[in-house]
Structure 1
Amino acid sequence: MNPPAALQTPGFAHYGLAWSPFYNTRLALASSANFGLVGNGRLHIVSLVPGPSGLPAINLDKFFESQDGLYDLAWSEAHENHIVTASGDGSIRLWDIMLDNLAIGAWQEHTREVFSVDWSNIQKDTFISSCWDGSVKVWKPDRPRSVLTLQAHQACTYQALFSPHQPDLISTCSTDGTIKIFDLRSPAYATGPGTNTFTNPLSAAVLTVPASTSEVLTIDWNKYRPFVLASGTVDRMVKVWDCRMVKMGDSQVGGVCEASLPGHEYAVRKVQWNPHKADVLATASYDMTCRIWSTMPMGPQPVLRYIHDAHTEFVVGCAWSLYEEGLLASCSWDNRLHIFRP
């Protein structure tokens, strides 16, 4: 196996990465100084060029400074040069990578760290954010304020993702050990013991999955199988959930665990389904590895296909190329981006 193509960003530990939906050779990295604990952040724009051994080489094209650490990013699905970032100071910023220095848009509604952003690939003028205050907000880049707020959890909401199949469905995961699915057409409030407060009412999910007794750090929708999600948790487990029991307008608790994928030695920080194959999943972990799994639904047991162990710190991000099958990027607190073919 050839060594990965690598790019180092000295002084800035990575938190997230994403491939451009418009250009197959362009990526962006969300990074933070001092491991995101204190200090500023950077948005790095990188491109791939032909390199030795069949793997591309990585060029750092430019970077943008932010006043606080960046925890996540998402490319616009409507404009090829726009990126939205999530920051530790509770702000969200929109950048045009063809311009220099300043962001072209900024929003400050969240009260704590914004830990994830996701742009809808169906409603291409809409993105969402999730925050350590438990809230999820829906945004349109041409609006000065959010268009909808969900109080998704009473604990930290680590991630919120649009369904790639239905434009009004989002999934969330939290410190509270649950995965939730919300229908944005019916943002009613939950009632009952332990679900509500007068100052911070909890929004009603159409499905709540009790996924773990520990924190659920990451989720991803399967690109080919509606209502199938993968999750990664602090207790080192990766699981695949079948949530087909969900019914719009009805609040339920359930979800069937279709597969469990043990093997990581520390918390699983990121999961991502392959956009080219329905049964291939990539995972990134604090055990300094990125792993590739064949989940094979309704067939034999899941199989661990590959372990990428070239990083020397927490691996916090992994992302499949949207255009080239089998090309994977990973990023880590060792300040390195890797591109490799498992």
Structure 2
Amino acid sequence: MNNNPTSRRSAYYEAKLPLFAVDWSKSLSQRGPGRIAVGTSSDDYGNRIQILQAAFLTEQQPNGQHTSSLDLHKVADASHAYPCTRLLWDPAGKNISGTGPELLATAGDFLRLWEYSPDTLSLRQISLLANKTKSDYTAPLTSLDWNSTDNSLIITSSIDTTCTIWDLTTSMAKTQLIAHDKEVFDARFTAGNVDVFASVGADGSVRVFDLRSLEHSTIIYEPPSPPPLLRISTNSRDPNLLATFAHESNIVHVLDIRSPGAPVVELEAHSGNVNAVEWAPNQSNLLATASDDCQVLVWDVTSNRSDIALAYTENSEVNNISWNSKGDWIAAVSGRGVQAVRLH
């Protein structure tokens, strides 16, 4: 699965600026391999979000054999002054078959909603939601998650210690709560649930909230003198499984909400700092991780052990990853490029 850097790279797209945010459309009803949204990450105000159309193609290898691959080509882009901390396609994907617009959400200075039209290949902002608390200061958003059960709900996390549940039908905040003692870096809904979400932040804890009972949260992981936890991924099939990693750490912690206090499994094969972690969309045992060691690892995780199912090596640090809807491709962001990696 390693690249040959001396040959033309298939299933690859390179932007003019460094990339960070990435999401592969998740609708199971889509035609073909779907679309990938990416966001650039530059210190100036000239950032972009770009839509890449994936198309199947057949390539002839030097030995004469033909193999199937993907072509990634940009079909639309739009200005996004600040870098995206996260972007996501609407998980419902009702219009992803190719007729009618699709929705995309981005987090950064604000929560923004976008409409992409595959008919006109146009991308336009349709809504801007400001994360204001008691003051007029708008705190930057560190991440977002789109509820897969009710696609009118989006959760955002912020450096102002809050998480906000947005109701897209009213374009208003449905609930805002102080979630951590310090900055919140990520928040995700648990599988099949509109009320339960988990979050991580600079205080080094993993917290689980139930919107039906906001008087308290459950701290399921908080080691002594913990380093900040940067990202969390909730399992798409099992609402009890989470995965997270700490700042400047090569270890991924797999947690079970039913067994708080300590990880059920720790994944320690990376030789560099972990940058991203994402559970597979359709198998509860598969987890992908990306690291400064230039690798994407796909783990087969069970209750008491883990095995590396697949490994892919890039030419530089891998900063982000996203699965496709069928779980047989992963988009890996490294430098200015995004590489689609086939698992099987």
Hey, what's the Cα distance between the residues in 2 that align with 1:206 and 1:68? 33
Give the whole-Å Cα distance in 2 for the aligned partners of 1:224 and 1:20.
14
Residue 15 of structure 1 aligns to a residue whose secondary structure is strand
Helix, strand or coil for the counterpart of 2:172? coil
TM-score, normalising length: structure 1: 0.83
| Residue 70 (structure 1) aligned to one of 71, 84, 87 | 84
Match of residue 29 from structure 1: 37
**CA distance, structure 2, for counterparts of residue 26 and residue 62 of structure 1:** 14
CA distance, structure 1, for counterparts of residue 82 and residue 181 of structure 2:
25
Aligned to 1:82: 103
CA deviation after TM superposition for structure 1 residue 176, in Å: 1.4
Distance of 1:340 and 1:169 partners within structure 2: 32
Residue 314 (structure 2) pairs with residue 310 (structure 1):
yes
Q: State whether residues 242 and 255 of structure 1, in contact with CA within 8 Å, keep that contact through their aligned partners in structure 2.
A: no
Matched AA of 2:320:
G
Tell me, in whole angstroms, the C-alpha distance in 1 between the residues paired with 2:47 and 2:157.
18
Segments of structure 1 that go 5 or more residues without pairing to the other structure are: 189-203, 246-253
The amino acid that maps onto 1:272 is E
Output aligned runs, 1:88-167, within 5 Å: 90-98=109-117, 100=122, 102-110=124-132, 111-167=138-194
Kindly indicate whether the alpha-carbon contact (under 8 Å) linking 2:21 and 2:87 is maintained by their aligned counterparts in 1: no
Deviation at 1:11, TM superposition (A): 1.7
1:214 aligns with 2:218: no
Give the CA deviation at 1:340: 1.1
Q: In structure 1, what is the Cα distance between the partners aligned to 2:301 and 2:230? A: 20
1:255-288 per-residue CA deviation (whole Å, 9 max, x = no partner) reads 4411111122332221111123222110012333
Q: Is the 8 A contact 2:18 2:336 kept in 1?
A: yes
The residue that corresponds to 2:75 in the other structure is 61
Name the aligned partner's letter for residue 205 of structure 1. Answer: S
Q: Is the 8 A contact 2:85 2:142 kept in 1?
A: yes
The CA distance in 2 between the partners of 1:20 and 1:168, in whole Å, is 21
Counterpart in the other structure of 2:98: none
Is 2:66 the partner of 1:47?
no
In the alignment, the residues of structure 1 paired with residue 266 and residue 123 of structure 2 have an alpha-carbon distance, to the nearest angstrom, of 45
Measured in 2, the distance between the counterparts of 1:208 and 1:145 equals: 30
Q: Which residue of 1 aligns with 2:333?
A: 331
By how many angstroms is 1:175 displaced? 1.5
Check whether the contact 2:161–2:184 (CA below 8 A) recurs between aligned residues.
yes
- The answer on whether the counterparts of 2:104 and 2:113 sit within 8 Å (CA) in structure 1 is yes
CA contact (8 A) 1:12 1:42 kept: no
> Partners of 2:38 and 2:159 in 1: how far apart?
18
CA RMSD of aligned residues (A): 2.1
Kindly report which structure 2 residues correspond to 1:266-285, keeping only aligned pairs within 5 A, or say none. Answer: 266-285=272-291
Percent identity of the aligned residues? 21
CA contact (8 A) 2:24 2:325 kept: no
Q: CA deviation at 1:32?
A: 2.8
How does the TM-score come out when normalised to structure 2?
Answer: 0.83
Match of 2:256 among 231, 237, 242: 242
C-alpha distance in structure 1 between counterparts of 2:267 and 2:233, whole Å: 15
- Contact 2:205–2:219 (Cα < 8 Å) also in 1: no
**Aligned AA for 1:58?**
L
Give per-residue Cα distances to partners, 1:2-42, cap 9 Å, x unaligned. Answer: 746210011242233232425352333342342xx332322
Q: Cα distance 1:76–1:224, how it changes in 2: closer, same or farther (>3 A)?
A: closer
2-structure distance, mates of 1:292, 1:57: 23
Q: 1:18 aligns with which of 21, 24, 29?
A: 24
Distance 2:313 2:2 in 1: 13
Question: Which shows bigger deviation, 155-164 or 6-15?
Answer: 6-15
The answer on whether the counterparts of 1:17 and 1:317 sit within 8 Å (CA) in structure 2 is no
Provide the aligned length of Structure 1 versus Structure 2: 310
Contact 1:28 1:43 survives alignment (8 Å):
no
Find the aligned partners of 1:310 and 1:266 in 2 and give their Cα distance: 13
Aligned residue for 1:179? Answer: 206
